[in-house]
Amino acid sequence: MIHTFAQITQQDWLINLVDTLADGFYQNLIHQNRFMYLINGLKMTLLVTLFSCLLGILLGMIVTYLKMSKFWLFRFIANIYLTIIRGTPSVVQLMIIYYVVFGHVDINKIAVASIAFGINSGAYVSEIFRSGILSVDKGQTEAGRSLGLSATKTMVLIVLPQAIKNVLPALFNEAIVLLKETAVMGYIGLQDLARGGDIIRSQTYAAYFPLLTMALIYLVVVMLLSYIFGLIEKRMRLSDNR
């Protein structure tokens, strides 16, 4: 069979590409079990995200309470916290907490990162909670109080359940933002997913394969989370139209 010139070069080009990809795959992921950098990195990313999410929600609740308090001092403290956290980059906050706050203390880096990202997230979560509480009609509180429920019981039994339902999408979104934010934890020497990809890059001197693989993993995790959150939201909406 006679091949034309164009067909030959096209085939060579394809063969070359497949070769390069196979080689890149082998060098960057298989050789010396390098994929473990990504697997372990992903575990670290998820772990820190989980801890900081929980801390962020806890702090968010406390700050919301302070911010909505009658006492000016409480509101003042909450405002200082919100201003500082929202006014500085989270990577700077992470470094300050690691090198300054815990600079002379022997403490687990995972704990440090979780605390730093948790403190950061708490500011955003509290704004979400506050907007959720404000989104519940004033008439709900008035109805509760007019029935003789105390302010606290009205908040817990009537306002909060509605507020949380309203802000669930925003909270889920914050969790995803947080997951991506933690990609800077390499700054204090933790090996998360982002750092894992970077380590492979520094060993193989190939940039695109490790970095694109790492990006793909982030993307898949985020899409998976969005999917799960979407299902939960859908269920909540369905139960809304009872």
Partner 1 sequence: MITVKDLHKHFGKLEVLKGINEHIEKGEKVVVIGPSGSGKSTFLRCLNLLEVPDKGEIIIDGEAITDPKSDVNKLRQKMGMVFQQFNLFPHLTIMDNITLAPRKVKGINKKDAEEKAIELLKKVGLVDKAQSYPNQLSGGQKQRIAIARALAMEPEIMLFDEPTSALDPEMVGEVLNVMRELANEGMTMVVVTHEMGFAREVASRVLFMDEGVIVEQNPPDKIFTNPQNERTKAFLSKVL
Binding pattern to partner 1, positions 150-189, x when CB under 8 A? x--x---xx--xx--x------------------------
Q: Which is nearer to partner 1, 70 or 242 (CB)?
A: 242
Residue type at 157 in one-letter notation: L
Residue type at 95 in one-letter notation: M
Q: How far apart are CA 86 and CA 200, in angstroms?
A: 33
Binding pattern to partner 1, positions 75-114, x when CB under 8 A? ----------------------------------------
Select from 42, 52, 17 the least CA-distant residue to 215: 42
Select from 51, 32, 25, 74 the least CA-distant residue to 122: 51
Q: How far apart are CA 241 and CA 97, in angstroms?
A: 46
In whole angstroms, the minimum distance from the beta carbon of 149 to partner 1 comes to 6
Interface with partner 1 by CB under 8 A: which range of 58-66, 90-98, 139-147, 224-232?
A: 139-147
Exposure on the CB side of residue 188, measured as CA atoms within 13 A: 27
In whole angstroms, the minimum distance from the beta carbon of 166 to partner 1 comes to 11
State which of residues 146, 189, 231, 237 lies at the interface with partner 1 (CB under 8 A). Answer: 146
Note whether 242 binds partner 1 by CB under 8 A: yes
In whole angstroms, the minimum distance from the beta carbon of 47 to partner 1 comes to 34
In whole angstroms, the minimum distance from the beta carbon of 74 to partner 1 comes to 21
**Burial (0-12, 13-18, 19+ Cβ within 10 Å), 160:** middle
State which of residues 147, 212, 216, 231 lies at the interface with partner 1 (CB under 8 A). Answer: 147
Phi-psi region of 4 (alpha: psi -120 to 50; beta: other; left: phi over 0): beta
Number of residues that bind partner 1 (CB under 8 A): 20
Note whether 235 binds partner 1 by CB under 8 A: no
Tell how far CA 234 is from the center of its chain: 21
Q: How far apart are CA 73 and CA 70, in angstroms?
A: 9
Q: Which residues bind partner 1 (CB under 8 A)?
A: 137, 139-140, 142-150, 153, 157-158, 161-162, 165, 241-242
